[in-house]
Chains A and B, each alone.
Chain A
Amino acid sequence: MREITLSQAVNEAIAEEMRRDPSVFLLGEDVAEAGTPFKVLSGLVEEFGTGRVLDTPISEPGFVGMAVGAAMTGARPIVDLMFGDFIYLVMDQLCNQAAKQHYMSGGKLTVPMVLRTNMGATRRSAAQHSQSLQALVAHIPGLKVAMPSSAYEAKGLMKTAIRDNNPVVIFEDKLMYQDKAPVPEEEYLIPFGEAKVKRDGRDITLIGTSSMVQVAEKAAEMLAKEGIEAEVIDPRTIVPLDETTLLESVKKTSRAIVIDEGHQSYGVTAEIASRLNEKAFYHLDAPVLRMGAMDVPVPFSPALEDLTVPTPQGVVENARRLCAGEMIHAA
Chain B
Amino acid sequence: MAQAKTNTEDYLRMYRQMVRIRTFEDNANQLYLSAKMPGLTHMYSGEEAVAVGICEALTDDDRITSTHRGHGHCVAKGAEFKEMFCELLGKAEGYCRGKGGSMHIADQSHGNLGANAIVGGSMGIATGSALRAKLLGQDDVTVCFFGDGATAQGLWYEVMNMAALWSLPVIYACENNGYSEYTKTEEIAAGSITARAEAFGIEAHQVDGQDVLAVNELTQKLVARARKGEGPFFIELMTYRYHGHHVGDINREYYRSKDEEKDWKENRDPIIRFRAHLVSEGIASEEEIEAINAEVEKDASAAVAYAEAAAYPPADEVDMHIYAD
> Which residues does A use to contact B, with CB under 8 Å?
22-23, 25, 51-52, 54, 56-57, 59, 61-75, 77, 92-93, 96-97, 101-110, 112, 141-142, 144, 165-166
Please provide the 4 A-B residue pairs with the shortest distance between their CB atoms, ordered closest to farther. Answer: A65-B124, A69-B128, A62-B158, A106-B97
Chain A's closest residue to B128 (CB) is: A69
**16 A-B contact pairs sorted by A residue (CB < 8 Å):** A57-B162, A61-B154, A62-B158, A63-B158, A68-B124, A70-B131, A70-B132, A72-B129, A92-B118, A96-B118, A97-B118, A97-B124, A103-B99, A103-B321, A104-B114, A165-B325
In residues 269-295 of chain B, which contact A (Cβ within 8 Å)? none
B126 within 8 A of A: yes
Query: Is there an interface contact between A63 and B162, defined as CB atoms closer than 8 Å?
Result: yes
Residues in chain B within 8 A of chain A (CB atoms): 63, 65, 94-100, 104, 106, 108, 113-114, 116, 118, 121-133, 135-136, 138, 142, 154-155, 158-159, 161-162, 165-166, 320-325
B63 touches A73 (CB 8 A): yes
Contacts of A68 in B (CB 8 A): 124-125, 128
In angstroms, Cα B116 to Cα A108, docked, is 15
Q: Check if A69 sits within 8 Å of B100, measured CB to CB.
A: no
Contact of A57 among B96, B125, B158 (CB under 8 A): B158
User: Do the beta carbons of A65 and B108 come within 8 Å of each other?
Assistant: no
Q: Is the CB of A69 within 8 A of B158?
A: no
A80 to chain B, nearest CB (A): 15
- Point out the residue from A65, A77, A107 that lies within 8 Å of B125, measured CB to CB: A65
- By beta carbon, the residue of chain B nearest A143 is B323
B118 surroundings in chain A (CB, below 8 A): 92, 96-97
Q: A66-B124, A101-B114 are in contact. Are A106 and B325 (CB under 8 A)?
A: no
Q: Complex Cα distance A23/B162, Å?
A: 20
Residues of B within 8 A of A51 (CB): 135
- Chain B residue nearest in CB terms to A55: B165
Are B323 and A102 in contact, with the CB atoms below 8 A?
yes
How many whole Å from B316's CB to the nearest CB in chain A?
13
Is there an interface contact between A97 and B125, defined as CB atoms closer than 8 Å? yes
Cα distance, A110 to B99, chains bound together (Å):
15
Q: How far is the CA of A22 from the CA of B136 in the complex (A)?
A: 8
Chain B contacts of A69 at CB under 8 A?
65, 113, 122, 124-132, 142
**Bound-complex Cα distance A166 to B325 (A):** 8
Docked-complex contact B322 and A141, CB < 8 angstroms: yes
- CB of A262 to closest CB in B, whole Å: 22
Q: Specify which of A62, A93, A97, A101 is in contact with B162 (CB 8 Å cutoff).
A: A62
Docked-complex contact B325 and A65, CB < 8 angstroms = no
Residue in A23, A66, A77, A105 whose CB lies within 8 Å of B127: A66
Residues of B within 8 A of A96 (CB): 118, 121
- The reply to whether A102 and B324 contact each other, CB–CB distance below 8 Å, is yes
Cβ–Cβ < 8 Å partners of B161 in chain A:
57, 59, 62
Q: Contact: B121 with A92, CB < 8 Å? A: yes
CA A63 to CA B129, docked complex, whole Å: 12
